């Protein structure tokens, strides 16, 4: 497992995703996480992310200095490389000429660049530069503008790159990241099959014989969660509220697919209720509030009528539980509720099996669980449905026009090979 320490980079989540694409499990922690907390996760390697700050700023985020002497393999990216250099006795200065955009590594050497031949295109974004190496370190790559574009430690356990290997503008970046994983001896078993096996075990152990309630919107996250509960064999009820604001044929498609795959699905017909609540309302934000309020009311009624339930299952994803904290802009974990505003007396415990997964990983699980591609690859759709696309009052006539227009548009995208 690799821990990505976040120092405010816009690419931090992308780093974590790239590692998972290479089948290495990764988590994001704030850059200043203490050593004791880091070690609780038992990481095999650390990556120090980039960041918008300069190492010379008084409020520049810094790692726990003990991490750099912990013996863990480390890769510093951009700002992370500058931190490595500065903390370990090297020298960082304002660059004589900042590098932003594409650059070429004119020379590269060492195990981090194994398998790469000739000049290598990379993506730079920095105004500071390492001008003096920490004692014993070696230059691993350079550009015409930067004589220290990458560096490596004497023992081959720590590396720094001034560029961003995680972005698409560094075409060989995945090879560089993979080389680091191999050098660090990181376990590479983060496969969809392995993830699914672990989630099934987690759900069975957590839910046991207790009942689980979930709301199904028809999107990939909630639909995949419903399939997971069904495959796990737990006592569940999936509630699909037809509020009359759905796309053409959406209810029939979701209902048919999930029931065929063993989901215990309850479809609630609430079209008249929602349209009546929206009568005469033109303000978009007011529409959202009304739809949210009515959904909570319907869902709560079902929970009381069909209950009791111990757990409320939600398709919360990893990006949902990470937010940018004030100041350093480093990752911070927060609680997240997809079905907000439920009465406290319902007393649910949250069950969030996908809380450490990215969207593309849920789609991979959906494929294994047999979710049809028409749902698995469907574009995201707002919770309030077509109501937010209606200018002015929501009427059945306007909704029908929108359904036909949306269906035609999506059909053409698929016909022209542009949908996916």
Binding residues for ATP: 217-223
Identify whether the C-beta of residue 190 lies closer than 8 Å to the C-beta of residue 25: yes
- Beta-carbon contacts of 269 under 8 Å, excluding residues fewer than 6 positions away, are 242
**Binding site residue list:** 217-223
Q: Is 169 a catalytic residue?
A: no
- Beta-carbon contacts of 367 under 8 Å, excluding residues fewer than 6 positions away, are 192, 376
Q: Is 393 a catalytic residue?
A: no
The one-character DSSP state at 165 is T
Provide the b/e sequence for 167-194 (b: ≥16 CB within 10 Å).
bebbebbbbbbbbbbebbebeeebebee
Active-site residue among 78, 99, 236, 294? 78
Active-site residue among 164, 236, 243, 328? 164
CA–CA separation, 326 and 415 (whole Å): 45
Identify whether the C-beta of residue 371 lies closer than 8 Å to the C-beta of residue 253: no
Exposure of 217 in the CB half-sphere (CA atoms within 13 A): 20
Compute CA distances 28 → 11, 22, 23, 193, whole Å: 12, 16, 16, 23
- Beta-carbon contacts of 149 under 8 Å, excluding residues fewer than 6 positions away, are 103, 105, 122, 141, 142, 143, 161, 162, 163
Instruction: Give how far the C-alpha of residue 111 lies from the chain's centroid of Cα atoms, to the nearest Å.
Output: 30
Identify the H or E element spanning 90: none
The one-character DSSP state at 396 is H
The one-character DSSP state at 43 is -
Active-site residue among 152, 166, 361, 364? 166
Identify whether the C-beta of residue 165 lies closer than 8 Å to the C-beta of residue 77: yes
Q: Is 164 a catalytic residue?
A: yes
The SS3 call for residue 394 is coil
The one-character DSSP state at 119 is -
**Which positions are catalytic?**
78, 164, 166
């Amino acid at each position: 497992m690799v821990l990505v320490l976040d120092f405010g980079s816009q690419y931090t989540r992308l780093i974590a995703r790239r590692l998972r694409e290479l089948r290495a499990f990764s988590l994001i922690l704030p850059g200043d996480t203490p050593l004791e907390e880091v070690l609780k996760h038992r990481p095999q390697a650390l990556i120090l992310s980039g960041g918008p700050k300069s190492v010379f700023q008084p409020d520049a985020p810094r790692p726990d200095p003990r991490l750099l002497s912990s013996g863990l393999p480390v890769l510093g990216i951009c700002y992370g490389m500058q931190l490595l250099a500065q903390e370990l006795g090297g020298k960082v200065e304002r660059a004589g000429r900042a590098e932003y955009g594409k650059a070429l590594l004119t020379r590269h050497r060492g195990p981090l660049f194994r398998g790469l031949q000739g000049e290598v295109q990379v993506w730079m974004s920095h105004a500071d530069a390492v001008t003096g190496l920490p004692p014993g370190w070696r230059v691993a790559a350079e550009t015409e503008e930067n004589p220290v574009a990458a560096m490596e430690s004497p023992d081959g356990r720590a590396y720094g790159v001034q560029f961003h290997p995680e972005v698409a503008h560094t075409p060989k970046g995945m090879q560089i990241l993979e080389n680091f994983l191999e050098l660090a001896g990181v376990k590479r078993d983060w496969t969809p099959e392995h993830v699914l096996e672990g989630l099934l075990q987690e759900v069975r152990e957590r839910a046991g014989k207790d009942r689980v309630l979930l709301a199904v919107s028809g999107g990939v996250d909630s639909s995949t969660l419903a399939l997971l509960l069904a495959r796990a064999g737990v006592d569940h009820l999936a509630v699909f509220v037809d509020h009359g604001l759905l796309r053409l044929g959406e209810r029939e498609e979701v209902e048919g697919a999930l029931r065929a795959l063993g989901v215990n699905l309850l479809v609630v017909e609430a079209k008249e209720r929602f349209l009546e609540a929206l009568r005469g309302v033109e303000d978009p934000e007011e529409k959202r509030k009304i739809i949210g309020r009515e959904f909570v009311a319907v869902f709560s009624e079902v929970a009381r009528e069909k209950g009791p339930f111990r757990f409320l299952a939600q398709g919360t994803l990893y990006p949902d539980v990470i937010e940018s904290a004030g100041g350093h802009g480093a990752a911070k974990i927060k609680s997240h509720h997809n079905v907000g505003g439920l009465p406290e007396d319902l007393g649910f415990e949250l069950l969030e099996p996908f809380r450490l997964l990215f969207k593309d990983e849920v789609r991979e699980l959906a494929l294994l669980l047999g979710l049809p591609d028409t749902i698995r690859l469907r574009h995201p759709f707002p919770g309030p449905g077509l109501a937010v696309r209606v200018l002015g009052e929501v009427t059945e006539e306007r909704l029908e026009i929108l359904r036909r227009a949306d269906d035609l548009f999506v059909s053409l995208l698929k016909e022209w090979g542009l949908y996916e």
